[in-house]
Structure 1
Amino acid sequence: MSGFDKDWLALREPADRAARAKPMVEALRRHLRQERAPMIIDIGCGTGSTWRSLSPDFPAQTRWRLLDHDPLLLAEAARRIGATGTVSLHEFDLNQAESLALDGVSMVTASALFDLCSDAFCARFARLLAARGVGLYAALNYDGRMEWSIAHPLDRQVVEDFNRHQRIDKGLGPALGPEATAHLVRQFEALGYRTEVASSPWELGPDEAALQAALLKGLEQPLGEIGSLTSGDIRTWLDFRLAAVRKAGSRYVVGHADFLALPGALPDTLPRE
């Protein structure tokens, strides 16, 4: 799986934090409070954004093991996290997930990851966790929805093409893209887990103009690779969208879903959507 640019990860981090479904984070916090010193493995950790988002709400004794295949991102994570006795960072390739050490692990977390994974990978990973009775919190999985408050005639085709591109192999087999969360639900429920899904969309306005612009520019390559639209149509659409970013009332919504699977019953405080 190819790595991500640290500047892009820094740009999206505030939107990720704001989008997380708060009742699900609270349910996870309550689950972890059952242990004196829970251990969390965060896979595909990038620069440590999941740790930064969640650790303030979790028990102070929580230990974190952060894994990523990209040594440059791990170095940036180490720089940003600093010295702490509760966090360790490790280079790890998820293609070798069967070698993941899960003894004593309370929970596996991931952010913006499983939509890049294949059904076969997700099934293997679910069985791996179930064999040790470990839960999964997988946040910010893209759900196939992009909407703009200022419409353009090509919006629908752009979203369809991007969603097709999301299913291309990203390094862990043909990616599930928008279907990732539904696949996780089926796989974990078949293994006896209780699962919950909550919406966690990015809702971006003029204050997030830089993130909007980066997202839009990042669409050009995948749209070109799918080839349903001409390069001229793509350029026309992008120019329109970029000009609209700072307009009053302009909103750009990118749909995501958060997923939680725990062995045993979930807290009653988490509403089912």
Structure 2
Amino acid sequence: MTTSDTAPFTPHWLALREDADAAARAADLLGPLREHLAGADRGSGPLVVRDLGCGTGSMGRWLSGSLPGPQHWILHDHDPALLALAAASLTGLTAGGGPVTAETREGDLTRLTAADLAGTSLVTASALLDLLTADEIDALAATFTAAGVPVLFGLSVVGEVELGPADPLDADITAAFNAHQRRTAGGRALLGPDALDVAARAFTRHGASVTTRPSPWRLGADSAALTAEWLRGWVGAAVEQDPRLAAPAQSYLRRRLEDCAAGRLTAVVGHGDLLALPGGGAR
């Protein structure tokens, strides 16, 4: 599996969403993560972080300053252009008094093995779980826990959208979008908004201590460009899933974009973050 099978992660879209992502991420998971990393024996080498489906490197830009240095990031993605952007944005940063370096790995991130993870201190990912199947998540959970590697997965969609002012078509668009996220693509049954719960159960089943937190986008007049782009994609996916919505969705999207441009529209788009630490039970 590659993320290109399921979603068009363009640099423009990733740049639009980066500030909203940073504001949404569950920062209270970082305390337990830092405690775990402080107690781990990694010798005298740097903290080695693997970022799966790294895009342009927003997770690294957000997280590197909150972890001890020195750090070495191994950036995984299917797209060489995104990998180049991500590596350039991380190399040379400092965090916790040490330098941050980066290297890139192009390919299928779901095929990582415990042997591949030798020397890895932490695995991270953003907006990834909902693009996976139950079997893929279970395999990753088994691999990471067997390797004794902590995991921080952020910004998985959970299927909850609240728009203001409300519109009678909101519920139908939300339901169709969620069904689209759960579609079968290339023979793979995507989990979409079920992924966070499935992942929490999988990591717990394989022996990790799991904590989840909400990490919703909260969009308003100051994020109009992101909101408009998100609306187009959200409504477009809903119509793709349920073509019967095509006619009403056209006027719905027009109304919503007008409200957005006028600064009248607010949106809370549900996401969730997951921290899985080796050993223990769920919280």
For normalisation by structure 2, the TM-score amounts to 0.88
3-state SS in 2 of match to 1:130 = helix
In structure 1, what is the equivalent of residue 71 of structure 2? 62
Amino acid at match of 2:205: A
Identity over aligned residues, as a percent? 40
User: Alpha carbon RMSD of aligned pairs, Å?
Assistant: 2.1
Is 1:145 the equivalent of 2:160?
yes
Deviation at 1:246, TM superposition (A): 4.1
Counterparts in 2 of 1:1-273, with a 5 A limit? 1-2=3-4, 3-35=8-40, 37-82=46-91, 86-98=101-113, 101-169=116-184, 173-227=188-242, 229-247=244-262, 250-264=265-279
The answer as to whether partners of 1:161 and 1:228 remain within 8 angstroms in 2 is: no
Amino acid of the residue matched to residue 31 of structure 2? E
Give the deviation of 1:171 after TM superposition: 6.2
Q: Give the residue type in structure 1 aligned to 2:58.
A: S
Aligned residue pairs: how many?
Answer: 267
CA distance in 1, matches of 2:103, 2:186: 25
Deviations 1:49-106 (A, max 9, x none): 1100000111011221111111111122233334576211121212433487101112
Q: Any unmatched runs of 5+ in structure 1?
A: 267-271
Amino acid at match of 2:271: H
Instruction: Please identify, of 204-213 and 125-134, the stretch whose mean Cα deviation from structure 2 is larger.
Output: 125-134
SS in 2 for 1:230: helix
CA displacement 1:232-263 (0-9 Å, x = unmatched)? 21111101111111445531010000001101
Contact 1:244 1:250 in 2 (8 A): yes
- Describe the superposition over 1:90-145 as per-residue Cα deviations: whole angstroms up to 9, x where unpaired: 21212433487101112110000001100010011111112211121111000100
Counterpart CA distance in 2 for 1:119 and 1:241 is 34
Q: Do the aligned partners of 1:67 and 1:91 also contact (CA within 8 Å) in 2?
A: yes
Residues 34 and 87 of structure 1, relative CA distance in 2, 3 Å threshold: farther
Which residue does the alignment assign to 1:269?
Answer: none
